Amino acid sequence: LNDLPDSSISPTLLYADDTKYYTIDPNISTNRHQQDLDKKHDWTNDWIMKFNPDTL
C-alpha cells in the first residue's frame, strides 16, 4: 500500500486504511486527473485490491 502514492502525478495521502488523492492547482487538466485515476486503477489490479466506492 505504501507504493500507491508513487503511481500518480498528483499528491496522494495515506492514513491507516484511508487514501486521499487531491490537487490544489486549478490549471490541472481533466486528462491529467484521468491519467492519475487510471494509474491507481492499474495499481489495484496489480495488487488485487479494490477501492471502496461507498466511502468516496
Domain that holds residue 19: 4-55
Say what the pLDDT of residue 55 is.
Answer: 65
State the number of CA atoms in the 13 A half-sphere of 15 facing the CB.
3
pTM across the whole model: 0.68
d(CA 50, CA 18): 12
Total domain count for the chain? 1
Say what the pLDDT of residue 56 is.
Answer: 55
Say what the pLDDT of residue 10 is.
Answer: 79
pLDDT digits (tens, 9 = 90+) for 1-24: 667 767 777 788 888 778 887 887
pLDDT digits (tens, 9 = 90+) for 25-53: 777 778 888 888 898 889 889 988 887 77
